[in-house]
Amino acid sequence: MLLHLKHLLLEATRKCNMACPHCMRGDAEELSMDYAVIDRIFEDVRQIDHLVLTGGEPSLAPYVIQQILYRARVWKCSIHSFFCATNARIYSQPFADALCGLYDYCKHPEHCALTATIDPYHEPADPAVMERYRALPFYRPVFEYGSDLPYPILTEGRAKENGIGQSEIPIKGSIYDADFKGLHFTCGDTVYVNAKGGVLLNADLSYRSQEEFCVGNLTEDSLPHILSTVLYMPRFQVGTRVFRTALISEAGTIAPVKLEVQRYYSDESAAMGAFHQIIHNLQITPVGPDIEKIPDELRLTIEPKDGKELPDSRLCETAVTYWAHKKKLGAAHIYVEHFPLEDAGHE
């Protein structure tokens, strides 16, 4: 079976030359992605819409990026664009050369990006290093945050150990966006492959948490088989029911006023995928425009309801609550429910 992956993240290395207190990965490890794992990926993948090179610090493993490009060429896998972030502590010419080669190979180079992570937790970047990276045609300042971090810190890795995490991670265990045509399998969900060959559906986990939530490993199985075993299996026949994904948030949380947003789907998998995407997005932009910046003491708690507590028509429900200085700012409730097509009340 041949794969088309819309979002593939590859953990090029776990090496790092910084020890940031907020790092979701945890302590660095002397480990980079093995060539055999890279080959195992590209044996089955024929198209990658967006490739993310992550770590660790990717600039410490340029040979891994070179091997990714080499294997993509050998297996004739098209890559539309890539994204990579560096801490810009040092300038690596082999790293820059590897990214330039990947840039030239990509079908849509205008969407490629290298950025430097500049925020209160990383050590200051070397101005001379920044000047050289900024000269690359694909450099974009998307992670140059300066003194303000515009998103809550995830309670993973070193951030959890240091007590500065602000947001828990909802663990995703199924693929919702999948399409089969003959021998071709298109996956719209994020797929993350770590340096050990572990396959995950969650990109923002510590190295320790990755061990718990891997859905398979490429040293033992093929990527198509791993992904096909974690497909979300709908419980109702498509076309006979309507599925509604709803977001209800209290005033002062994600907007100054109360919000009620509902979307309808004929496919249960699509509704469940939207449900998980909403929860993910709430963690990235958890406060509304009435609040100038995220409070330093912001904390998010995510509380899924037990299935036994839900009415028969409701498939799942989760509450996301926002706190600052132990005071509740507000909450948002997200749920998916189903009902017969004749009760939909809409086209």
Rounded Cα distance between 239 and 341, Å, is: 8
Cβ atoms < 10 Å from Cβ of 225: 11
- The model carries a pTM of 0.83
What pLDDT shows up at residue 288?
A: 47
pLDDT digits (tens, 9 = 90+) for 223-246: 999 999 999 888 776 667 899 999
What pLDDT shows up at residue 257?
A: 81
pLDDT digits (tens, 9 = 90+) for 239-279: 678 999 999 988 877 777 888 999 988 889 999 999 988 88
Cβ atoms < 10 Å from Cβ of 243: 24
Residue 166: partners with Cβ closer than 8 Å, 6 or more residues away? 152, 153, 154, 155, 294, 298, 299, 300
Token digits for 231? 């497909």
What pLDDT shows up at residue 238?
A: 65
Whether the pLDDT of residue 280 is over 90: the answer is no
The percent of residues in the chain predicted with pLDDT above 70, rounded, is 91
Strands 184-193 and 178-181 turn out to be: antiparallel
Domains of the chain: 2-228 (3.20.20), 241-343 (3.40.50.11630)
Q: Which of 30-39, 121-130, 201-210, 285-294 has the lowest mean pLDDT?
A: 285-294
What pLDDT shows up at residue 253?
A: 76
Cα–Cα distances (Å) from 346 to 133, 210, 242, 244, 266, in that order, read 52, 42, 10, 12, 12
> φ and ψ at 309, to 5 degrees?
-85, -10
pLDDT digits (tens, 9 = 90+) for 160-184: 998 888 777 778 889 999 998 888 9
Whether the pLDDT of residue 214 is over 90: the answer is yes
Q: Considering only CA atoms, give the Rg of the chain.
A: 21
Rounded Cα distance between 170 and 304, Å, is: 9
Q: For residue 204, what is the DSSP state? A: S
Rounded Cα distance between 89 and 91, Å, is: 7
